[in-house]
Chain A
Amino acid sequence: MFPIPIQKRPLINRISYKILVPVSLFIWLIPLIGIMLTSIRGLGDITAGNYWGIPSEFLLFSNIKDVFQNTPMLSYIINSFKITIPTVIGAVAISCMTGFALASYKFKANLFIFFTFIAGNFVPFQILMIPVRDLTFQMGLYDTVTGLVLFHVAFQTGFCTLFMRNFIKALPNELFEAARIDGTSEFNIFLKIVVPLTRPAIAALSVLIFTFIWNDFFWATVLIQGQHAMPITAGLKSLNGQWVTVYHLLSAGSIIAAVPPVIMFFLMQKHFIAGLTLGASKG
């Protein structure tokens, strides 16, 4: 263990540690606590400058109701789901295949293709922006959910392939060999052996990609224009412009936007962290 477990330290250290942890957590979360407090407040508190005191009214639900009634928030959320879920399914399905191909077959271009996927994944978005926007225009998919999903799937394939390939590579190769000797076809090896064994990796990738895509702002700005297809990140930004001073509604909207990835994170925490720390423990 590093550092030395606090239990082996003198009493005074143990007590101060137990005080220090919640205090530092509170300081760390001040920005988030601030926004939660504000989302409860009414307009009266905001104009009176009561930001940190006890809210004079508890209006969280009425603020949320206001947001839904007076803004297209509901349609933004639905769009976010319409963009995020197909992207997760598409990117994970495709990368199961590419990951399998790159992990279990030896051929000349293998490493080259693998490194191409990795390199592409790190490229700055701006170098893709104009051609991708043009391409989406030409396909008649500009300002549609489909156009955005297609791009997201393609781009996420880079990261997902890296992840899947390393995961499948770590599976014992004897499994595949034994199946081949038994005469199992390559497709059945994929469907009956690889896919069931990669379930943890599929779960980890799904939560990660869900969060990445849900939180995407740049591509939503570049490929979407109208409210009808706009996800919540871009929607919030447009509300931010409209409501310069209506902080209580803006913070209620922000909280609504944050809820799905936060739930996802807490439900699938282990998978989420396993996905993010890929390679942090091994070479």
Chain B
Amino acid sequence: MPDSTQITYRKSSWWKLNQQRLTPWIFLFPGLLLFLVYVIWPIFNSLYISLLQWDGLSPAIYVGLSNYIELLDDEYFYISLMNNLKWLILFMLAVPIGLGLAIFLNQTIFGIRLIKSLFFFPFVISQVVIGIIFSWFYNPRGVIGPFLDKLGLSNYAILADENFATYGIIFAGIYPQIAYCMILYLTGLNNLNTDQIEAGRMDGAKGFSLFKNIILPQLKPATFLAIVVTVIGSLRSFDMVAIMTQGGPYGSTNVLAYYMFETALSEYGYRMGYGSAIAAVLFTIMMFYILFFIYRMYQSEKKGL
């Protein structure tokens, strides 16, 4: 009897002593486990699969770097890569356009809150719906038809034109992205330091010089976040391509994200290894941005501590 109380006492004191050290790990356990299994491990697993020749069913054959070597000669890979670049560059327009809209709407007139919400609307809606809306917008026998007729472009279908289809999709994709950037900047404008602006105005700063020297530096956090989400958004162009063109015509609208999916999981063949190699390229590109973002966060953490 006395022995057992001794033990419980010891146990609780051990717990008391180590509670501070162990609690974080107990709290981290479920989240960390799920994240390791579903996110971290798959990254390394994919990198390994990219060294295999594998259809997902029969035994995999280790082929070294030959998937990557094949990529170097793959015309569609280069088309996809170029399209990713087009997405990235054109998507960047969402940042200044969003800023412009935010400045335009940063007023207090009757109903402005509702107006701002309505401007933000496209971001809330699924990209699938946006894609459907635009593909039928572009359809020459659809909404845009009457206007095309007036322009003398009867029956012109941008999504069927291999030279311009990608731009048609990007235009649709940038629409919700502008809304996102706008809301980031509206929040930024809301939190401006009024004293600095007034002081600047006292010193005679006006219009563009006021904007450039006083407003823009204060909007830096919003700009940073806008650029980060826009870059990531541009590389996640899968939904739009899948809905609007499925990579066609003749693969001209493919992007790495969609091309990877097509190679690994569609009727064109189940080439898991080759698909993983494409994914690895996309991952490497993204990794630069991730590391840049983390570096920025690390700097601000150090300042904060």
User: Which A residues form the contact surface with B (CB < 8 A)?
Assistant: 1-3, 5-7, 17-18, 21-22, 24-25, 28-29, 31-32, 34-35, 38, 49, 51-52, 94-95, 97-98, 100-102, 105, 107, 110-111, 113, 115-120, 122-135, 150-151, 153-155, 157-158, 161, 185-187, 190, 211, 214-215, 217-218, 221-222, 233, 236-237, 240, 247, 250-251, 254, 257-258, 261-262, 264-266, 269, 273, 276-283
Task: Tell me whether A250 and B136 are in contact (CB under 8 A).
Answer: yes
Tell me if B62 is interfacial: C-beta within 8 Å of chain A. Answer: no
Tell me if B51 is interfacial: C-beta within 8 Å of chain A. Answer: no
Task: Tell me whether B35 and A127 are in contact (CB under 8 A).
Answer: no
Task: Tell me whether B126 and A217 are in contact (CB under 8 A).
Answer: yes
SS of A interface (majority): helix
User: What chain A residues lie within 8 Å of B37 (beta carbons)?
Assistant: 135, 154
Task: Tell me whether B282 and A127 are in contact (CB under 8 A).
Answer: yes
- The interface bits of chain B over 67-78 (1 if a CB of A lies within 8 angstroms of the residue's CB, else 0) are 000000000000
Partner of B49, one of A31, A130, A150, A277: A130
User: In the assembly, what is the distance between CA of A123 and CA of B41, in Å?
Assistant: 12
Interface residues on B, range: 35 or more
Residue ID in chain B nearest A278 by CB atoms: B225
Partner of B141, one of A5, A49, A151, A251: A49
SS of B interface (majority): helix
Partner of B279, one of A129, A150, A233: A129
Residue ID in chain A nearest B286 by CB atoms: A124
Task: Tell me whether B106 and A3 are in contact (CB under 8 A).
Answer: yes
Task: Tell me whether B121 and A17 are in contact (CB under 8 A).
Answer: no
Tell me if B158 is interfacial: C-beta within 8 Å of chain A. Answer: no
Task: Tell me whether B197 and A2 are in contact (CB under 8 A).
Answer: yes
User: What chain A residues lie within 8 Å of B121 (beta carbons)?
Assistant: 29, 32, 262
User: With A119-B294, A215-B126, A265-B124 as given contacts, are A153 and B103 in contact (CB-CB < 8 Å)?
Assistant: no
Task: Tell me whether B126 and A258 are in contact (CB under 8 A).
Answer: yes
Task: Tell me whether A261 and B225 are in contact (CB under 8 A).
Answer: no
Task: Tell me whether B42 and A128 are in contact (CB under 8 A).
Answer: yes
Partner of A257, one of B126, B175, B215, B265: B126
Tell me if B85 is interfacial: C-beta within 8 Å of chain A. Answer: no
Tell me if B159 is interfacial: C-beta within 8 Å of chain A. Answer: no
User: In the assembly, what is the distance between CA of A123 and CA of B236, in Å?
Assistant: 10
Task: Tell me whether A254 and B242 are in contact (CB under 8 A).
Answer: no
Taking A1-B106, A34-B133 as known contacts, 20 extra A-B pairs with beta carbons closer than 8 A to each other, sorted by chain A number, are A24-B104, A31-B133, A38-B136, A49-B141, A120-B39, A123-B283, A128-B42, A128-B46, A130-B49, A130-B264, A135-B37, A154-B34, A157-B35, A233-B128, A247-B142, A257-B126, A257-B129, A276-B184, A283-B221, A283-B300
